Chain A
Amino acid sequence: MTDTLLLISLCAVAATATAAVLVRDPARQALVLSVLGLALAVLFTVLQAPDVALSQLAVGSALTPLLILLSVRKVRRRGRREEDGR
């Protein structure tokens, strides 16, 4: 019966990862990625690895989206500046 929970969390990870691939805009992808981090954390907890889940939560819920959004903003700003320069 414990396999049910494992199966559910595996399906959640698969569904979220597929959604992250299908969403094409990087800023929107960051949102789906943070949900993927949550699903992975649940999977690690179900597999009795709470330490891995802890680091996954710390990195996935705030740090990865922050890095992605900051990079997207920087790239966009540079593109705008180059357009203005020409």
Chain B
Amino acid sequence: MNAWLVCASLLLVAGLLPVVWGTARGPLGHRVVAQNCGTSVVCLVMLLLAQGYERPAYTDLALVLAVLGPVGTLVFARLLSGELDEEPRWGRAVTALTVAATAPVVIASCAATGPGRAAVKVVFIGVLLAAGNVIASRTLSGAHRNPTETRYD
């Protein structure tokens, strides 16, 4: 077990516990924010696992998750828009925290892979993850403001 795997397990414990707690309890807005945070945490864990197992192909998992995670959150924001009446209080802080956590992981994996196409891919995943997070959190904080406008039932 190398340092990457230790980091991955630490991130898994520290990230997934609050996420499960947050998705299982509280108002609906908080739950969606917690689910979005969970996709980012798992995406970072996938990047760390790819380094830890020394299999660059495992970064594909992180890439797929970085694309599909925000899509899932947007699905929730669209279909639950009628019920998202309360703005998530910690939404901005959680988004800032996950984006801030993305940076060191991406930089470390880049430094480990060395210059080349693999490093560009890791940077691309990081940018995609951060952008998806920001877009999802904006949509979520916008969904409660005009719930009747986006509702179509």
Contacts and interface: CB of A to CB of B under 8 A. Distances in A.
A69 B61 contact: no
Range, interface on chain A: 35 or more
A5 B58 contact: no
Contacts, number: 111
A69 B5 CA distance: 36
Interface in B48-73: 49, 53, 55, 57-58, 60-61, 64-65, 68-69, 71-72
A42 B45 contact: yes
29 contacts: A5-B9, A16-B16, A19-B20, A27-B83, A28-B28, A30-B76, A34-B35, A34-B38, A38-B65, A39-B16, A42-B12, A42-B45, A45-B58, A46-B49, A50-B57, A54-B60, A57-B61, A57-B64, A58-B68, A61-B65, A61-B71, A62-B68, A62-B72, A62-B75, A66-B75, A69-B75, A69-B76, A73-B79, A73-B153
